[in-house]
């Protein structure tokens, strides 16, 4: 017999219906009760409301869009920091006043996914730290850059500013722009994907006040 659980969604004020699992597949119905299209808004599934078979291995599961036959980008979150995931979130696209079915299926991570968010330390450029989403990227300077300045060594920089890298594309650009910069292609100039327009401590090239 099917069981139905009604969970409040994050951001969108609609409900999901979870229908009991068969084998390793679990159907999820998401409903948009508004007369506008909903996109880039997070749906939250409570792990403790899922069948034990899935809840105990939820990190292996992905959200599969049955209509496009592709996995959506999803993430498990440990809200109480006890080492076990509490929720799995994803962002579906829904037409006005519509419902859509998705499936929780074991996924070979890295397939059919687009990495919209990314961050890393950049040791090849002293110790920058960078992060980005599909709209914008940022870069800040690490303690090693400050140490170089304080000890009179070459190549350091002291700044509390955070660089804002303005993107014209939605795919990740951090690694690409750094690699190109080491080959003489400046990310302070727009080569079609955007640019780092702010120079920390100075006025930007557009006349805005830099950090």
**Could you report the per-residue pLDDT of 1-31, keeping only the tens digit for each?**
333 333 333 333 333 444 444 457 889 999 9
pLDDT for 129-171, tens place per residue?
999 999 999 999 888 888 988 898 887 888 777 889 999 998 8
Q: Which of 61-70, 79-88, 102-111, 173-182 shows the lowest mean pLDDT across its residues?
A: 102-111
Quote the CA–CA distance of 27 and 5 in Å, as a whole number: 12
Average pLDDT, the chain: 81
**What does the pLDDT read at residue 115?**
67
3-state secondary structure of 98: strand
Q: What is the pLDDT of residue 66?
A: 85
CB 140 within 8 A of CB 120: no
How many beta carbons lie within 10 A of that of residue 121, not counting itself? Answer: 12
Q: What is the pLDDT of residue 124?
A: 87
Average pLDDT over residues 28-36: 92
Q: How confident is the model at residue 75 (pLDDT cuts 50, 70, 90)?
A: confident
For the chain, the domains span 4-106, 118-196
**What pLDDT is stored for residue 111 in this prediction?**
55
Q: How far is 106 from 109, CA to CA, in rounded Å?
A: 9
Q: CB-hemisphere CA count at 13 Å for 160? A: 0
Closest CA to 77 of 47, 52, 102: 47
What percent of the chain lies above the pLDDT cut of 90? 45
Q: For 96-119, write each residue's pLDDT tens digit.
A: 999 999 999 998 765 555 667 888
Distance, in Å, from the CA atom of 112 to the CA atom of 63, rounded to the nearest integer, reads 11
Sheet holding 70-72, edge to edge: 4-8, 15-22, 25-32, 98-106, 61-65, 70-72
pLDDT score of 40 more than 60? yes
Q: What is the mean pLDDT of residues 52-81?
A: 90
Please name the residues in contact with 152: beta carbons below 8 A apart, sequence gap of 6 or more: none
User: pTM higher than 0.75, yes or no?
Assistant: no
Region at 201 (left for phi over 0; alpha for psi -120 to 50; beta for the rest)? left
One of 3.30.70.360, 1.10.10.10, 2.40.360.20, 2.60.40.1180 is the CATH number of 4-106, namely: 2.60.40.1180
Residue 73: the pLDDT is 86
**Rounded Cα distance, 93 and 12, in Å:** 11
């Amino acid at each position: 017999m099917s069981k139905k659980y009604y969970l409040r969604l994050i951001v969108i004020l609609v409900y999901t219906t979870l229908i009991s699992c068969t084998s390793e597949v679990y159907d999820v119905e998401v409903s948009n009760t508004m007369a506008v299209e909903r996109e880039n808004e997070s749906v939250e599934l409570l792990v403790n409301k899922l069948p034990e078979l899935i809840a105990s291995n939820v990190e292996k599961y992905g959200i599969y869009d049955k209509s496009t036959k592709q996995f959506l980008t999803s993430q498990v979150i440990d809200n109480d920091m006890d080492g076990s995931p509490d929720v799995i979130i994803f962002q579906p696209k829904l037409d006005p006043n519509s419902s859509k079915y998705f499936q929780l299926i074991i996924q070979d991570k890295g397939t059919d996914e687009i990495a919209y968010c990314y961050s890393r330390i950049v040791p090849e450029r002293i110790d920058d730290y960078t992060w980005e989403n599909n709209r914008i990227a940022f870069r800040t300077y690490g303690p090693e850059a400050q140490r170089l300045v304080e000890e009179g060594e070459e190549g350091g920089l002291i700044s509390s500013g955070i660089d804002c890298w303005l993107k014209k594309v939605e795919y990740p650009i951090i690694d690409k722009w750094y690699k190109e910069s080491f080959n003489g292609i400046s990310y302070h100039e727009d080569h079609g994907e955007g640019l780092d327009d702010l120079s920390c401590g100075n006025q930007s090239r557009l006349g805005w006040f830099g950090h």
